[in-house]
Structures are given as structure tokens and as C-alpha cells.
Amino acid sequence: MEDIIVKLALIGMLGIGAQWLAWRFNLPAIVLMALAGILAGPVTGVLQPAQDFGELFRPMIAVAVAVILFEGGLTLNFHELRDASRGVRRLVFPGVFIGWALGTWAAHYIAGLSLPVAILFAGILVVTGPTVIIPLLRQAKLAQRPRAILKWEGIINDPVGALFAVLVFEYLSYADQGSTVGGIVGWIIIASAAAAAIGIGMGLGLAQLFRRGLIPEFLKAPFILCAVLICYAVADQIEHETGLVAVTALGITLGNARLASITEMRRFKEYVTVLFVSGVFVILTATLTPDVLTAVDWPLIGFVLAILFVVRPATVWLSTIGAGLPWQERLLLGWIAPRGVVAVAVSGFFGAELVHLGYEEGAQLIPLSFAVVFATVLAHGFSIRWLAERLSLTSKENPGVLIVGASAWSTAFAHCLKEAEIPVAIADTGWRRLKTARLADIPTYHEEILSEATEHEIDMNKYGHLVAVTGNEAYNSLVCTEFGPEIGRTNVLQLGTADEDDPRGVSFTLRGRPLFKRPVALEELLRRHYAGWSFQKTKLSDQYTYDDWVTGRPEETDILLILKKNGTLVFSANKARAEAGDTIIAYGPPTDAPDKPQKPKKAATPADS
């Protein structure tokens, strides 16, 4: 018992540690997790999952895969799919079927798998996976349309590949029993439909419980996790592995139920999925043997090359004919398709099941999937930025500032940022409030920043910081809370009159960072604006230092941000120290401001004249 606890702790430490190192050094997480599993498994022998966990090994993997697929279904929003571009729809249909057919050809004729196993494995490989593609998109700073296509293809295809594998596996299970093709297909359809009905029914039931307030907020996320396990167990009693169909249907149903608390639930499930993905990947990698690791032969190499240079490019070019995409975007989409942990997890699960059915080639699915994952993550991860730049599909600007709230003050602030060549835009629901910004040729968004349409209308990839400067402090906090997880809590700032430590104000856990060193409201900023206060942009040098700048400014002047010489922005920089080559953007009164206390002037002396 104690040994199992130690093994679980080691798996958690290796998986999450690899995720952290990947974030810290901007490396592909999947590569580090695989290396951790290889070191713990075939290299050192510390982990031997099949022996360490015994009969619990396969159920553990099954439950983890079920939760991963549920989270994938939870992210699939039909409204967003309808609003997606034509290119996304083409890559989903007929793209997945073209990719499935071409992948089957490669797996059968090049990798040497039997046709049934090749069909199942090719179905798994249509998955690109958001857990891999989204970090690559952040790194590459792609233009909005190709970025959106790759993102939504990964999200939508995430459950599709596993669903294909489930259907093929069910067929193989019954074909092994000597049933007719018609009977097998009919039973698969009935069993899958029943499992989907269970998932949909449980999803609708949970949605009703949530809407009627019959489940408190603190129990919603744990309730859903338990529902996923129950849904999987019940559906699996109908037919083996149809539980995966049920949990996918459950996730899609809840994801489209328009629940007020769906964002929090998605976040919780994302945390759980990250933990499970890390653990499953380390476990599956640790199950590899030295013989498997060294069994790199020409069929494996040829299969990987076919996936990279034939299957994916042909899938994209055939499915996007007439979609209106320029050749540059089609070329990029035809190259970028990294596979991730879902492909490995599902391959490992079904590989073991196929061996039990008598398909010995099932044991090859794990090394083949690892080879594809490693090749695609490394090849695409290190080439996406290079290729996108040469195809002119990247944003060459440094991440800018999105200002929420139009006013005379925020327009002046945006104008100052624009003069400093910092990308900037103002978002507001008031058309008239945006008039001054439009006349100043500042990009504007006339919409509610918290609406569902924001993700499609505003390219958030352009903005590394968000500044909420409306007259409503609570609304500013809400905006910062909503965008904090996406942009980063340290990169969302707001106005407000309450001090962070004031128990009567908005909790600091909901607020963004203060834009000014002293609390200030929009009304006060407008008063200062019309009293002659202004934004000051100053570039420091070896001759004009930070100390010189401080000495020559009124005491009330606030440093809003520092534009570093490498192009990065540092907000809330009153305690920071700018260096030569940096540009300080500050806000302060004129030297002769009437509301600024003036020191008595000393009498003139000959030295002063």
C-alpha cells in the first residue's frame, strides 16, 4: 500500500514538474513528460506501472481517458462551431474522413498494421488536440484566421478521434465472435446510441439541477466529476468501451447548456484534466521497454514521414478546395498538426484491448503513437514561427494594450501609446463615447467585452495587457477576473477608488492590479485631464538617467508603464527602475498646475542670472 502511494506521488511529481519546466522555459510539455516517463520507466526501472498497480492499471487509464474526453466535449460549443470560419468546417467535414482514409492507407501499407488495426489507429490520429496546439499558437503569434482554424480544429477533433476508435473497436469485438457484418454494425449503432442517450440525459438532468439551484456552487464541480464516473460506468455495462461515447456526449451537452457557472466548471475540469493527462502520459511512457525504444525501423520511419508530408498536407489541400483560403494559409495548415497526449492515451488504452482480442499488432500502437507525437511536436513546434514568418502570417508587433472603457482620458492614453508605437485599441459599448478615439484613428471595438462574440471579433493575440478604466469599479474587476486566466493575472489592470486592503471594497482576489500607485476614480482622472494634466513619454539615455527624470518631474507624477528597449511592457512600474534605452510613459500635472503646491521662490542672485 505504501509503495503504491509513493509511486503515485512520484508520477504526480514527474508529470506536473514536467509541465512547470515546459512553461518556465517555453518548451513542448509533451516532450518533457515523455522524457520523465522514459527515465522513470525503461531507463531506471523505478516505475513499472503494469506490475506496480496490477489489476488497477487498466481501470486507472480508462477513467483518466474518460475524464480527458469529457473535458474535450465540454469545450465543443455548437454556437462557436456555427460561427467558425468555412475553413474550420471543411477541416471537420470532410477533412476528418479524408484524414482517416489516408491515415489508414499509411498505417496499413507502410507501418504494416492489419487493416482493422490500421483503421482504428488512423481514427485516433485525426486528433490534433488543443492541449498541444494552443501553446504553439501562443508562441507563434499567428494571424487571426489561421490561428482560429488550428485552434477550433483541435478542439472539435479532440473527441472525434476517440469516438472513431470506439466505433472500430466495438466492430472488432463483435467480429471476433463470428457475427455478421450487418448484425455487428447494427449492434454498434444501438449500443453507441444508447450510450450517447445516457450521456445526453445525464447532461440535461444536471443542467436542470443547476438552473433550479438544487446543487450549491461549491458542489457543482465535484458533482460533475462524480457524474462523469457514473456515466462511464453505467454506459460501459451496455457494451465495453461505449462509456467513452457517453462521457463525450455528456461533455458536449453540458458545454452547450448555457449554464451561468460553465466557465468555473470548465476551469475545474481543465485543472483535473491537466493532472490526469500528466499522469497518464508518464505512466504510458514508463510502460515502454528498452526493446521498444530501440526498435526504430524503416516501416516506422516511413509511416511518420507519410503522416508529416503526405497525409496531413493532402487532407488540408483536398478538404479546403473552394474554401477561399489563400495558398499561404493552406500551406501552413497543411504542415501544422501536432498530436498530443490524447492520441497517446487513447492508443495505449485500445492497444492493450486489441491484444486481449487477439490482435497482436495492438502492441505496436503505443510506440507508433509516441513516434508520431514526438515527430510532430518537435517538427511543428520548432518550425511554426519560422514558416509563418516567411508566409507573412504572423503579427510582427509586440503584444499591445487593450483598453476597456472609452473616455477623454483613455483616448489620450491610447494616443500616447500609439505615438510610442505600442499596439492599442479601445473597447466600449457606447458608440458616441468611442467617437473621439475614432477621430484620432485609434482602433476601436464597439461591443460588450464580456460577450461570447468577443473571442471571434477581437484578436486577443495582439494584446498582452488589458486595462479596465470604466467609471464602474465593480465592472472593471469583473473584466479583469474574466480575462486574467487568459492574459495572466499580472497583466490585467484597473481603476478603482478602494485600496486593495480595504475590507469594504471589491476583494483583491477579484481585482486586477492597480493602474496608479494611489487609488483614483475615472471622475478624478477626467478632472485632471481638463485641468491640463497630460501623458509624458520620455526615453532615457546614458546622459539623461532615471534619476534625472525623477528630479525634473512634479511629485504627483505617476509612472504608468515602462517600455523596455527590447519591446516588452512593464506596468505598475512606480517601484521599478528604468534603464538607458527604456521609455517611460507617465501621467502628471503641468509644472504650473494651480492645484499643485508651489515652493516659495528664492530671491535672485548673481549666480542665477
- Provide the pLDDT confidence category of residue 107 given band limits of 50, 70 and 90: very high
Query: Which pLDDT tens digit goes with each residue over 161-194?
Result: 767 777 788 778 777 666 666 777 777 788 888 9
Residue 211 pLDDT > 70: yes
Would you list the domain boundaries of the chain?
2-390, 400-588
Residue 481: its pLDDT value, please? 87
CA–CA separation, 38 vs 33, rounded Å? 9
- Residue pointed to by grid coordinates 504627483: 556
pLDDT above 70: residue 87: yes
Long-range CB pairs of 178-181, under 8 A, 24+ apart, other chains included: none
pLDDT at 52: 85
Query: Residue 596: pLDDT above 60?
Result: no
| Residue 498 clears pLDDT 70, i.e. is over it | no
Instruction: List the beta bridge partners of residue 537.
Output: 585
Residue with the bigger pLDDT between 21 and 267: it is 21
Percent of the chain past pLDDT 70, that is, above it, reads: 86
Q: What is the C-alpha to C-alpha distance for residues 268 and 221, in angstroms, rounded to an integer?
A: 7
User: Over the chain, what is the mean pLDDT?
Assistant: 82
Model confidence pLDDT, tens digit, residues 516-528: 888 889 999 999 9
Q: Are strands 444-446 and 424-428 parallel, antiparallel or unpaired?
A: parallel
Res. 607: pLDDT tops 50: no
Exposed, middle or buried by CB within 10 Å (0-12, 13-18, 19+), for 247? buried
| DSSP-derived 3-state class of residue 244 | helix
pLDDT, tens digit (0-9, with 9 covering 90-100), for 14-67: 989 988 887 777 676 777 887 888 899 888 888 888 788 888 887 887 788 788
Please name the fold of domain 2-390.
Answer: Na+/H+ antiporter like fold (1.20.1530)
Q: What is the pLDDT of residue 593?
A: 42
Q: Encode pLDDT of 286-326 as tens digits.
A: 887 777 667 678 899 999 999 999 999 999 999 999 888 89
Nine-digit cell at 466? 488589458
How does DSSP classify residue 172?
H
pLDDT in tens, 280-297: 778 877 887 777 667 678
Report the pLDDT value the prediction gives residue 602, as an integer from 0 to 100. Answer: 41
DSSP state, residue 601: P
User: What pLDDT does 2 receive?
Assistant: 64
> How confident is the model over 399-413, as pLDDT tens digits?
789 999 999 999 999
Contact between residue 567 and residue 398 where contact means Cβ atoms under 8 Å apart: yes
Q: Which residues contact 471 (CB under 8 A, 6 or more apart)?
A: 405, 407, 521, 522, 523
The pLDDT, as a whole number, for residue 278 is 81
What is the spatial distance between Cα 569 and Cα 586, in angstroms, rounded to a whole number?
A: 13
pTM for the model stands at 0.68
Q: Is the pLDDT of residue 492 over 80?
A: yes
With a pLDDT cut of 90, the percent of the chain lying above it is 28
CATH class of 400-588: alpha beta
